[in-house]
Amino acid sequence: MAPQHTPALPVLGSRKPSHRERVADALRAALIAGELRPGEVYSAPGLATRFGVSATPVREAMLDLAKEGLVDTVPNKGFRVTAVSERQLDEYTHIRALIEIPTTAELARTADPVALEALRPVAREIVTSAAAGDLIAYVEADLRFHLGLLALAGNDHLVDVVRDLRRRSRLYGLTALVEQGRLEASAEEHLEILDALLARDEEAVRAVMARHLGHVRGLWAAP
């Protein structure tokens, strides 16, 4: 079984987020990792206990997620996680591949090596989270890593589009990979991406990114 834990609230970006934003980020990560399942109704007090916070920021954060279409409000009960169809997941992954693979590959020619190297601690954090079976930390660090890479391309709108697509992804196979001891090997691909970028090997970056994104509907997808 995957280890039980009280997930730490993640911190995204350089600006210090509000408590409400940190709770919302943790809830999004829990949705992506499958720790909050579609069709299930979750109460704000119940989630507050799970995340070790008060109910008010959880309720506010869930309202933010409702505006994004990630959950539906259930009067007098809480919030129901919205289902994502296989076709939707395929479409999200296809769009991500069209954007992320060429954009990341191009960074092999354009990115500042110092800026790339600054992402290595995040890549190592992904590996550490995978080894610990902390899926929320894994998803959150993965998001920071890939959005951090894309930000080096200098297109803020592109980053926003990919952020939204990643939030809508569902990686229900992560739990099984943790239980099988296989997630850490997959996580090390982030270090492989960085090394290929720093080696200025555009084709290697493209190949690793294609393999890496392929996991979204492969290794990481199966419930």
Query: pLDDT tens digits for 146-189?
Result: 999 999 999 999 999 999 999 888 877 677 777 787 888 889 99
Say whether both 47 and 113 belong to one domain: no
Structure tokens at 216: 């979204």
Find all residues with CB under 8 Å of 108, minimum gap 6, and list them.
Answer: 196, 197, 199, 200, 201, 202, 205
Residue 220: pLDDT band with limits 50, 70, 90: low
Q: 0.95 cut: is pTM over it?
A: no
Is 157 inside any structural domain? Answer: yes
Is 2 inside any structural domain? Answer: no
- How many structural domains are present in the chain? 2
Residue 95: pLDDT band with limits 50, 70, 90: very high
Say whether both 164 and 185 belong to one domain: yes
Say whether both 177 and 122 belong to one domain: yes
- Of 46, 81, 116, the residue that ends a domain is 81
Say whether both 35 and 48 belong to one domain: yes
Q: Calculate the CA 222 to chain-centre distance.
A: 16
Is 156 inside any structural domain? Answer: yes
pLDDT digits (tens, 9 = 90+) for 4-58: 343 443 444 444 667 888 888 889 988 888 888 888 999 999 999 988 889 999 9
- Of 36, 60, 81, the residue that ends a domain is 81
Is 6 inside any structural domain? Answer: no
Say whether both 106 and 190 belong to one domain: yes
Domain with 61 in it: 19-81
> What are the distances in angstroms from CA 118 to CA 12, 113, 187?
15, 9, 18
Least confident of 78-87, 174-183, 201-210: 174-183
Q: How many residues are present in the chain?
A: 223
We report the CATH number of the domain holding residue 134 as 1.20.120.530
Say whether both 30 and 116 belong to one domain: no
pLDDT digits (tens, 9 = 90+) for 177-204: 777 878 888 899 999 999 999 999 999 9
Say whether both 33 and 53 belong to one domain: yes
- By the 8 A CB rule, do 130 and 206 touch? no
Q: Which residue has the tokens 């959880």?
A: 58
